[in-house]
Structure 1
């Protein structure tokens, strides 16, 4: 049976393998484990199940030196057992080589639906390298389309910063694919926009089409807004009695315009040195 056949059969206990209780202190995690983080909540929930029903499926390990073992499959069960302070755990010893052990661990994790996109992409990349596979052959072996695998692998081209937000679920894989191809600086700038403004994928795509233009316009809009706010603040500081007089003058200017007089008004909104200049000309 090939390593990929285990996608359907890895929960079956091989007939020639015996289950033995192994001390948890003699077991270490799989060095090829694709899952970077384990949810404390999910481990506690699994521990509660183990405490109630026991371990229904033994973990799989391989020998590592003198009476020590490395996990091939079942690290969540191992962590849950540690949470319960078990001294031993039922295990099957299957002495795979490095390539087989790594592939088995990767495949077991790919079967779970809660792998984040970056861990999944890294698992595909590792499987291809370990087994000398193309994207097409890998996709066929794991029952995915070639485009699905390719889209996942593209995420590995993102900067570590973007990958971290993708792994945590703060942006979607589609957001991530929009940023592929941008420089590290631009990936960071667009990521900040997505997070600050809760941008959808379409909005992100529009920014990516002209990154420099978007940020130039944004800077201009910020300057215009600041100027408008400064003017507003200046006007608001004008004493109330003076503001009444200014409003009276402006009404007079309006009446002059309505009567056919050409009026040119220049206003200085400095509250400390307010000035309004009016030029009147007949048309």
Structure 2
């Protein structure tokens, strides 16, 4: 562990849910997959994939870590970071954009050269560079430090770069959710200019709406929960029904049967939650 470096970690954004899931998995089952590293000139090893596993093991005070060694240069390291996460979908579009922009500005590659290196169409490269260039530097830094999440960053991106930091600070001060940030940005964009009074009005409306939702009667909240559960059950039953009607139960392949079993488990769990919610409503009615 002491020989590992994390220079390329700066291209990845910390996402609390993923971090927590990785930590729980390693705590329960241990390290199931090796991290990917490459040797450096100073006889250390630079991590290019497996940062969550590394951080989790570090928290658990692990003395060693399983790793696969590859031999790459600066350009191919960044390409490998993208390719290793391409199939799993674990890298966000902003993280992809951060790496593509680095290849363009730091490694001095043209968009055509990047598209060949990554085996991607040049329009994909152009979109990623455009994406990161539309975000204010301070907003990017806040996302990397997990001070705001990526979804809020995407909302702020809709604003001119010069206004993003100011609105980001308001979002943080008021502890706005992604949906509330979306409403705030919509309100700002509906005005011809960034007016402080207009922003204040938008914030007041959002906070008033938040208070209204918190004061909803408990019975109505539970009724909404029941409606949501029934909708989930209906979708899962519909899936199972469609799968069974395709070929008949005896002709379903083994891998599809496993998927159907998973959906049936979901239906069972949904019914359990539904039963508990109805019990709560009945208790409330008796009081």
**Relative to total residues, which structure has the larger strand share, 1 or 2?**
1
TM-score (norm 2): 0.49
